[in-house]
Amino acid sequence: MEAAVAHSVAALGAVTGRDWTKVRAGRLEWDCRETAEHVAGDLIGYAAQLTGRGRHAYASFDFSLRADAGNDGALHVISAMGALLAAAVRTTPRSVRAFHPYPFRHANREGFAAMGVAEVLLHTHDMAEGLGIAYEPPDGLCEFVLTRIFPHVRPGPSPWPTLLWATGRGELPGREPVTAWRWYNNPVLRSERLDLEGVTPAVAASLSLAGDGGFTWAGGAPADGTRVGAGFGVTQYEEGAYRPEWGMYVLVRREDDLAVGAMGFHGAPDDGGRVEIGYDLVAEARGNGYATEALRTLSAWALGQDSVHAVTAVVEEDNVPSQKVVTRAGFTEVSRQEGRITYELRA
């Protein structure tokens, strides 16, 4: 957050002597002064959401720059608001989520950080375009945004042009122009004892490369199947086929915030309304009914979507514990082939 703000302030600081109220910010309807005020307001607003931890609505306050604050003053306020958001992100527990409407009505600290960085980068671009100055943020900041709140966007040849294209501000060879867009925070489902936290491309990349994905794992590390599944998620992201609600979910035990396994879909529903599910638990968490509980929750969510008529699971014939999990969750056997059993749960 601080790096994004510092880079923005350095670029815009060169033109504070101009009248920003007389210059439109790129393609926006706002002038550059209004855009600067908007950025500062979003940063303090996101900080308020995290620290206030409101679950159902935005914090009820308005923000505005004082009339006597010049352009230098506006940049100073942006720096201060960025520092407040950064402090809120650093001090908010990992499991906390607060209200944001897109698309699942909540976001965690990484989501708010990514949204804050996106506001700074994109609106600095808008102002720079209007003021006629060059601006290009570091690739790392753009990747941070793309891999957390733009999981549906296939990576392009370079992160900054990709982010501009994804937000209707630029073109990419071979891709249609974007005329409407939203960013996407990751989904979270709740069962009796677990939070099922949707995995972002950033988390999938970490898990696939022997990282922890930002979680503390029971037993110290995720199971091998979780790492394999995360690798599939990375591939889907690189191909532009990743959808957070139809990807992997990490199973987090609420009582101690420990990750006990992962469960997820192999992809979005097919044309017949069928979606396949898989799962894996760390050895230390097995035998407690977590897999069954999570499977019931995730399957019920899937069958509640108009596009899904059946959830399937494929289990090896010699994997008796996994067979018990799916049958306890209400699945029934539909076929056996080459040492594997296919189970199905229908709406």
Contact 276, 313 (CB under 8 A): yes
In order, the DSSP letters of 193-238 are: SEEEEEPPHHHHHHHHTT--TT-EEGGGS--HHHHHHHHHHHHHHH
Residue 176: which residues within 8 A CB-CB, separation 6 or more? none
DSSP conformation class of 300? H
Mean pLDDT of the chain: 97
Q: Which pTM does this prediction carry?
A: 0.96
CATH of domain 188-346: 3.40.630.30
The full set of domain ranges for the chain reads: 2-166, 188-346
pLDDT per residue as tens digits for the range 230-242? 999 999 999 999 9
pLDDT per residue as tens digits for the range 260-290? 999 999 999 999 999 999 999 999 999 999 9
pLDDT per residue as tens digits for the range 6-61? 999 999 999 999 999 999 999 999 999 999 999 999 999 999 999 999 999 999 99
DSSP conformation class of 185? P
Predicted local confidence at residue 347, as pLDDT:
87
Q: How far apart are CA 94 and CA 8, in angstroms?
A: 28
Predicted local confidence at residue 346, as pLDDT:
97
Predicted local confidence at residue 244, as pLDDT:
86
Please return the burial class of 81, using the count of CB atoms within 10 Å of its CB with bins 0-12, 13-18 and 19+. Answer: buried
Average pLDDT over residues 189-215: 98
Pick the CATH number of 2-166 from 3.30.70, 1.10.20, 1.10.1060, 1.20.120: 1.20.120
